[in-house]
Amino acid sequence: SSMPIPNVKRMADKFICLMAFSFGEVAEKLVYVGKLSSSYIEVC
Q: Report DSSP letters for 1-43, one per residue.
A: ----HHHHHHHHHHHHHHHHHSHHHHHHHHHHHHHHHHHHHHH
The whole-angstrom separation of Cα 6 and Cα 12 is 10
What is the domain partition of the chain in residue ranges? Answer: 5-43
Who wins on pLDDT, 38 or 24?
38
User: Given this model, what pLDDT does residue 1 score?
Assistant: 62
- pTM equals 0.35
For residues 12 and 43, give the distance between their C-alpha atoms in angstroms, rounded to a whole number: 25
Instruction: Classify residue 2 by its DSSP letter.
Output: -
Express each pLDDT in 3-33 by its tens digit.
677 888 899 999 888 767 777 787 788 899 9
